[in-house]
Chains A and B, each alone.
Chain A
Amino acid sequence: MKTVGTRVTRQDAAAKATGQAKYVDDIQPSGAIHVATARARVPHARIKGIDVDLARSAPGVVAVLTAADVPGRNLVPLVVNDYPFLADGEVRFVGQAVALIAADTPEQARRAAAAVRVETEACDAVFDAREALRPGAPVVHAPDNAFRRFHVLKGDPDGAFASLCDVVVERTFETDHQVHVYLETQGMVAEPDGRGGVVVTGSMQCPYYVLSAVCAATGLARNMVHVVQSETGGGFGGKEDVPSIVAAHAALVCQRTGRAVKVIYDREEDFTSMSKRHPGWARVRYGATRDGKLVACDVEYVINGGAYVTLSPIVLWRGTVHAAGPYEIPNVRIESVAAATNTVPCGAFRGFGQPQVAFGQESCLDELARELGMDPAELRRRNVLHLGSTTSTGQEIRESCGLSAALETVLEASSWAARRPSLEGQTGTVRRGLGVAVGYYGVGLGAGGKALDRAHAFIQIEADGSVRVAVGTTEMGQGARSEMAQIAADTLSAPLEAVQVLTADTTRVPDSGPTVASRTTIASGKAVMKAAVPLRQCIEGAARRLLGGEPVADGGMLRCGDRSISFADAVAACYAERQPMSSVGQWVSPETSFGENGQGDAYIVYSYIATVAEVEVDLELGTTRVLDIWSAIDVGKAVNPDQVEAQIEGGSVQATGYALMERLSLRRGVIENPNLSSYIIPTTLDVPRIHAFFVEDPYSGGPFGAKGFGEVPMIGTPAAIANAVAHALGARPPALPITPERVLEVRR
């Protein structure tokens, strides 16, 4: 019996439910010193001097470090290396790290950090992305505050808008920051390894990014730095690149003092200094024929990258590729830019540049439906990608395209055809609305991150038949560790309970690339399968000899007729025969491209989503409740259907927060609500009924046909909620989140 496709219990659940699982703050090395960080209080300034004398003489202080104390290279290694671990000569945002203070207790470190005096000379600052791009704006990133621009051109959009379209609709849309609010804040522990190196343990998505960062900062060779992922209390992209900074800080203090070091951010520090979802602005224009066939699309897309480049170029690239929506459109132009401003650097967050523009693009499509006098579901039905379609980058969809099936699933489940017309003509102050949206998501890094898109896996079968699987991608709550165990067990014909997937640890697991872009299922899953195949051949060979015929795997047993042996028996035979019982697997991404005019096979495959949302809006109070979300995702193959539904449920609630509630308030770059009582995320009382569905249109390049999908709920769902609100109001909300104030504004 195979475990893939069945609802198995997650292997890590019991340890978490009993409090046994060790998160970084649960590690308490004896004699550890604690680090607090002195941070910039102005948005843009030259540093004239840093006075650390008071801090250094404060009670309990062991060490104070500034940029001058970084022995290696003071730049976080990422796409473009411009972000210093500690501010050097200049600060570009409020909250930027300036000095590290280590003391015997966290309280002493915090007090001393407050005593660091930074003498600054103020520079002009700019906070809004579109203002930053105007000529004459204060320069944050030379020469013109553009971190990166992209351009996609397919067909002849100008000609098509001028002569082929019966109806053209154009609107502009905006979205705010979103904060990850992983329940566990950022943290790292660094300890001397007794041979001049350092062991860094903490909360992270990408151990090999952390390794590179610690080596850059300390100047240590890669084989002198040992990075271990502790149990990680949520990531959502917020633990992709920024743990590199936290880890480098911990390692620098460890290297300087020779002591065990702990850096744990409190919630406010985490809000103030760590990455966010980029605010977005989009102008979207669609043109169609009278019968609802999309002919042309033109999108201008701007994101606010904050003060340093970090991941903005690839966030922008992903947003650009998907900006026209999951439709077959012959003529497309997309122009995009990521702007530098004096605000906290934005980075990776579930959806990675897509949710912002998807909200605009799907809202605009609803406006087009209104102009056409057509049901918005019908307009989508006529235009969604199917086999043989080409995307806006000219990529032909050759397999695994379950978008139509996903759309029909949610339309039927929500009784759309009957329900939507029944809501017309409401008159009370509390009104219902039903909205639909679709989306797609290129799985993996694609042409924008080609160099990193490969994975390795090691498998070792022990003499007792237990199995160790090592992959460099991580568990952060999404269930990857358990999923990898299923893939390994089924490929090896081993019982699931015999398989353990190691915690990510750079001395024991290979570099499988970053745990991002919903890539683990395909990349690491395939690498695990490739490592397992030669081992399975050894085991089957041994079983054949023991059973005297062809073995068939069945629930952890190997059977031939009425004879059977256990997996462990077969392994024991392999050991007796001195066969190799460890193996390496490697997966390398199929070719992708993004050439002239942004044309090419941008991603290896896409996952698809369709969502219907029903909302209730109080026209007097401006409040909105989401009552129901029906969401279907084409996942290729559901490795664990329970976990697929759990991802859809959790993602739908994050999407609900993004659509309606979560508003980060910045004034001149200062975050005014850096806490959970004024930055509001959904509670048990705010969430809709979620009806989660999956469609399985298999991908030949994925393990058992599976594709990644963890980020996909963030793509279509906010737009579906916005479209439902627009339906209830009879007016279009131009910005997320749709707070009560904004509802009342739209009504006016």
Chain B
Amino acid sequence: MSRLVTIEMTVNGKAVSLAVDPGKTLLEVLRQDLLLTGTKAGCEAGECGACTVLLDGQPVASCLVPAAAAHGGSVETVEGLAGADGALDAVQAALVREGAVQCGFCTPGIAMSAVALLRETRHPTEAAIREALAGNLCRCTGYARVVRAVNAAAEEVEP
């Protein structure tokens, strides 16, 4: 067992401090240490996007980020999107409404990529939506409803 390092970060707005194996990725810490299993492991090589979370507002493949690199940072996961009352975020609600969820394994990662996009660009073009989601593989939907849902969520965001 290697020496543990202490990392401090905020996860979904809450401050956390934990001692972790420095070899662990952010994905492993989220899923194993913090039991936030909404973030999925699809390839653990940064190829599929299922593990996408926001680190300081930017979408990252958490399977490629050493946990220690999140020290001092702010992490947002799919569990942090819905309101305290359980109300879905606009992107989540649109994914559900538009029928963009099938097996659902890629959905949390897609939601995070889309949220990051809409924070940066309130009314993205379809091309910009496709670009923002290009790193999120989905094998079920063919993406049509996913793109439509993100577009619909953008329409709802107050200017």
Contact = CB atoms under 8 A, between A and B. Distances in A.
Contact of A643 (B50, B99, B105, B130): B99
Nearest to B106: A183
Contacts of B88: 14, 17-18
B interface secondary structure, majority: loop
Contacts of A690: 142, 144
A19 interface: yes
B102 A676 contact: no
Leading 4 A-B pairs by shortest Cβ distance = A19-B38, A16-B104, A477-B103, A233-B105
Nearest to A182: B139
A93 interface: no
A74 interface: no
Interface in B122-138: 129-131, 133-138
Contacts of B139: 180-183, 234, 236, 650, 654, 681
A231 B102 CA distance: 11
B35 interface: yes
Interface stretch (A5-13, A337-345, A375-383, A527-535): A5-13
Given A12-B104, A233-B104, 12 more contacts: A17-B78, A17-B96, A18-B81, A25-B41, A181-B139, A183-B105, A183-B139, A267-B44, A652-B142, A675-B45, A683-B137, A685-B130
B151 interface: no
A685 B131 contact: yes
A contact patch SS: loop
Contact of B43 (A19, A23, A650, A676): A676
Given A653-B142, A684-B130, A16 B107 contact: yes
Nearest to A684: B130
Contact of B102 (A9, A478, A645, A652): A478
Contacts of A23: 37, 40, 105
B4 to A, nearest CB: 14
Contacts of B79: 18-19
Interface string A684-707: 110100100000000000000000
Interface string B63-107: 000000000000001110110000010001001110101111111
Contacts of A654: 139, 142
Contacts of A28: 32, 35, 37
Interface in B1-58: 31-32, 35-45, 47-48, 50
B102 A650 contact: yes
Contacts of A683: 133-135, 137, 143
Interface of A: 7, 9-10, 12-23, 25-26, 28, 180-185, 231-236, 266-267, 476-479, 642-643, 645-646, 649-654, 675-677, 681-685, 687, 690
27 contacts: A7-B99, A12-B104, A17-B101, A18-B81, A19-B38, A19-B78, A21-B104, A25-B41, A28-B35, A183-B40, A183-B50, A183-B106, A183-B139, A184-B105, A232-B103, A233-B40, A233-B105, A234-B103, A477-B140, A643-B99, A646-B142, A649-B144, A650-B141, A652-B142, A684-B131, A687-B143, A687-B144
Given A681-B137, A683-B134, A685-B130, A183 B101 contact: no
A181, A652, A683: residue with the most chain B Cβ atoms closer than 10 Å: A683
Contacts of B78: 17-19
A267 B134 contact: no
B59 interface: no
A627 to B, nearest CB: 14
Contacts of B36: 19
A677 B47 contact: yes
Interface of B: 31-32, 35-45, 47-48, 50, 77-79, 81-82, 88, 92, 95-97, 99, 101-108, 111, 129-131, 133-147
A501 to B, nearest CB: 16
A476 B144 contact: no
B134 A685 contact: yes
A233 B48 CA distance: 13
Contacts of A676: 43, 45, 47-48, 137
A133 B36 CA distance: 52
A146 B138 CA distance: 36
A338 to B, nearest CB: 26
Contact of B97 (A9, A18, A21, A184): A9
Contacts of A653: 141-143
Nearest to B126: A684
Contacts of A10: 96, 99, 101
Given A181-B139, A477-B140, A18 B42 contact: no
A19 B37 contact: yes
Nearest to A629: B142
Contact of A17 (B44, B47, B107, B134): B107
Nearest to B145: A646
Contacts of B50: 183
Contacts of B145: 646, 649
Nearest to B103: A477
A193 B11 CA distance: 36
Residue in B42, B106, B136 whose Cβ sees the most chain A Cβ within 10 Å:
B42
A182 B103 contact: yes
Contact of B103 (A25, A183, A684, A687): A183
A692 to B, nearest CB: 8
B35 to A, nearest CB: 7
B144 A17 contact: no
A20 B107 CA distance: 11
A4 B157 CA distance: 33
A479 B40 contact: no
B64 to A, nearest CB: 12
Given A12-B104, A21-B104, A649-B145, A684 B133 contact: yes
Given A9-B97, A18-B79, A184 B141 contact: no
A13 B101 contact: yes
B39 to A, nearest CB: 7
A183 B103 CA distance: 9
A21 B40 CA distance: 11
A608 B136 CA distance: 32
Nearest to B98: A642
Given A183-B137, A267-B42, A16 B37 contact: no
A235 B44 CA distance: 20
B138 A19 contact: no
Contacts of B111: 17
A649 B101 contact: no
Contact of A684 (B31, B41, B147): B147
B95 to A, nearest CB: 5
Given A10-B99, A14-B96, A684-B133, A26 B144 contact: no
A738 to B, nearest CB: 19
B137 A649 contact: no
Contacts of B47: 267, 675-677
Contacts of B143: 649, 653, 682-684, 687
B42 A19 contact: no
